[in-house]
Structure 1
Amino acid sequence: MTTPLITVPLTADLLRGALDVERTPLGLLPHRLPAWARAQNTDGQLAMAESQPSGVRLAFRTRATAIELDTLPTKRVYVGALPRAEGLYDLVVDGRLAGQDSVSGGHTLTIDMTEGTFERTPGTPGTLRFTDLPDTLKDVEIWLPHNETTELVALRADAPVEAAPAPDRPVWLHHGSSISHGSDAASPTTTWPALAASRAGVELINLGFGGAALLDPFTARAVRDTPADLISVKIGINIVNADVMRMRALTPAVHGFLDTIREGHPTAPLLVVSPILCPVHEDTPGPSAPDFGDPADGRVTFKAMGDPAEVALGKLTLRTIRDELARIVEQRAADDPNLHYVDGLDLYGEADHAELPLPDDIHPDAATHRRIGERFADLGLGPLSGRVSI
């Protein structure tokens, strides 16, 4: 006899990894920036990115053997590109991946990268189901798709559900670009920050924002105000490919970003991470532009549109940003012994690119996410997480 499912109230205490939870007419919408920060933002790209729940998961304890979740996702369609795969939900039971599912339907956001336009088509919710779970008391996490805005509509289970207890491990807060957000990762638990967190035994809050790691002051204040034991900021690729500043502006902006974080976390280990290798922008400034190549194959790559001759006038490349970040950290570390520099080329460099090239010339694929995550855990998080007292 099948046990009937009972409706579980959707409450904010069931969510981890979100900085804010918006109550909507249908349910809950997780956000990775607080409402006051969103009010200061005027960029549609960041608005989209922060609402995509990379690193956000439902976390609860239950004996349920069957769980259903209704969600209203927002799917992205890029004009001129191949259709994107459905966003995956990863079911983790007692720390191990136990299932995956996706939700069809939902809203559609059509994006024309050439024109810079967005068009939204309304849709309806869908349901994902996980069944045949062990009939034991267990800790369950449902990691939401890292690349789809996801409104939570209803949760059902065949046994009572209670919010998981607070984690007993250090909290790692990371900020970065689409690479940190998880572009081209296989699933939400296999973005490089999620893999690094699992390997190092830390609790992840991922503030990786696709196309929007631009040293915004409101992002620094959000990091400042969020409880965390370890913090990392990965700086560079979006500043170059958006062509938003020159060296004159970069240096004080980095200092200001770090100063703001230190207002709320004066002694926490803080890692400044420079860009991984990206050959198109190593010595050529931005901006970047999409290259659709042969329309028949739907493959999109990116090309650098800047003039290398302008580097002498202060235009930025990944190479000049790495040098300046290393200099800034060395300068500040004299008075801040908990500030550390991680060279992005140690995470993914020339030899890695020869073996695992970037498919679109900007973003790593699933195998490269795994390599970066493992290396970051060993080079950055591992040595620090072991000496954090929480």
Structure 2
Amino acid sequence: MTDGFIRGCVLPPHDGAPYPRADLDDIRLPVDIGLAARVPATVRLELTGPARLADITYRTAHPPQGLRGEAGGSSFSVWSGQSQLADVEAVVGEGVARVPLGPGTTTVYLPEAMSPTVIDMSGVDGSVHPAPPAPRWLAYGDSITEGWGASAPARSWVARTSRELGLDAVNLGYAAAGRGELAVAEMIAATPAEVITVAFGTNCWSRVPLGTALLEATFRAFLTVLREGHPSVPVVVVSPIVRPDAEHEPNRLGATLAGLRRVIEETTRSLRAEDRRLTLLPGGDLLGPEHLADGVHPDDAGHELLSVAIGQCLAGALQPASSPT
């Protein structure tokens, strides 16, 4: 049985997607969101117990595939805090992965690139139990939130931050998408959470170009819908990180990435006047071009820097509203 062990998934299984990250039955969902949501990014097992080893019985649907290749996850990656304990390669079809357990909570990231399904969990010479529940963090964004550029799913900024702060990260980052879709905002509004991050804008420059006025309206609408379900939950807004080819290059509607970033930041500051549980982290100076794996997505060092900066904001946002931050 796997009840309680799976973390990072808040939706029931769907055809061909045992751990979907969006409501795949919502006909309003853009196609690119639906495709990205089938990847179980940051879905993982969290377990503890007297056993020092555990067997994970699983099934995968195919070899690693997609733009991320093996960097998208082809193994069961085992972590205790920020220390990696093991990396057990997954096979195509059915298999059993024997993994070590560390002290406290052990986190096992799934082979995301192989469409895995966990069938059973069992301890070896002892019992294993689901780790205690953690505060839920809904992390909305694009491919940078999903984890692109990191050498493995466990090294993305979302995965790093969730381990560091002890949060149950639900990764709602959608590669090639994440543009403030209201259908996703409604899903977030309906999902219980203790903290939320919103980090989008890069794909509003290129994939589906937006002008500055349209982005401002989209961003305000997204936060308005989100706040309908979470009127007092802390929300951290991270504006787009650096992208050298887009900073000062107008898109087809005349907007540069620097201009789109400025709109997100100015709108957040304006909204914060009436919403003190809203925090802004300007993203433009968090990384340099040397921290990008491909000119767009952070490499491992870049993801680590994002984890430190965003983690500090999350820790501050999670303090009681009356506490100084």
Q: In the alignment, what sits opposite 1:373? A: 307
**Given residue 308 of structure 2, which amino acid in structure 1 is its aligned partner?**
E
C-alpha contact 1:67 1:129 (8 A) present in aligned 2 = yes
| CA RMSD, 1 decimal | 2.8
* Structure 1 residue 256: Cα displacement: 0.8
* CA–CA distance in structure 2, aligned partners of residues 95 and 74 of structure 1: 29
Tell me whether 1:87 sits opposite 2:74 in the alignment: yes
C-alpha contact 1:22 1:31 (8 A) present in aligned 2 = yes
**Given residue 46 of structure 1, which amino acid in structure 2 is its aligned partner?**
I
Tell me whether 1:34 sits opposite 2:23 in the alignment: yes
Max Rg structure? 1
Tell me whether 1:19 sits opposite 2:6 in the alignment: no
Query: Do the aligned partners of residues 220 and 90 (structure 1) sit closer, same or farther apart at CA in structure 2, a change above 3 Å counting?
Result: same
* CA–CA distance in structure 1, aligned partners of residues 68 and 190 of structure 2: 40
**Given residue 16 of structure 1, which amino acid in structure 2 is its aligned partner?**
R
* CA–CA distance in structure 1, aligned partners of residues 191 and 29 of structure 2: 19
Which one is further off, 202-211 or 174-183?
A: 202-211
TM-score, normalisation: structure 2: 0.86
* CA–CA distance in structure 2, aligned partners of residues 347 and 94 of structure 1: 24
C-alpha contact 1:91 1:100 (8 A) present in aligned 2 = yes
Q: In the alignment, what sits opposite 1:341? A: 280
Q: In the alignment, what sits opposite 1:382? A: 315
* CA–CA distance in structure 2, aligned partners of residues 388 and 92 of structure 1: 33
* Structure 1 residue 73: Cα displacement: 4.5
What count of residue pairs does the alignment treat as equivalent? 319
Contiguous gaps of at least 5 residues in structure 1: 1-8, 106-123, 287-305
C-alpha contact 1:177 1:212 (8 A) present in aligned 2 = yes
TM-score, normalisation: structure 1: 0.73
1:70 aligned counterpart, secondary structure: strand
**Given residue 30 of structure 1, which amino acid in structure 2 is its aligned partner?**
Y
Contiguous gaps of at least 5 residues in structure 2: none
2:296 aligned counterpart, secondary structure: coil
**Given residue 358 of structure 1, which amino acid in structure 2 is its aligned partner?**
L
**Given residue 387 of structure 1, which amino acid in structure 2 is its aligned partner?**
P
1:162 to 119, 126, 129: 129
- String of CA shifts for 1:258-285, please: whole Å, max 9, x gaps: 0011011111211221100000111224
Q: In the alignment, what sits opposite 1:47? A: 34
Which protein has the bigger strand share?
A: 1
* Structure 1 residue 148: Cα displacement: 4.7
1:363 to 288, 292, 297: 297
* Structure 1 residue 46: Cα displacement: 2.1
Percent sequence identity over matched residues?
24
- String of CA shifts for 1:40-68, please: whole Å, max 9, x gaps: 3241x322321212221122333332423
Q: In the alignment, what sits opposite 1:324? A: 263
- String of CA shifts for 1:153-196, please: whole Å, max 9, x gaps: 443433444333322xx432211111111012132321111222
Query: Do the aligned partners of residues 191 and 248 (structure 1) sit closer, same or farther apart at CA in structure 2, a change above 3 Å counting?
Result: same
1:31 aligned counterpart, secondary structure: coil
**Given residue 130 of structure 1, which amino acid in structure 2 is its aligned partner?**
V
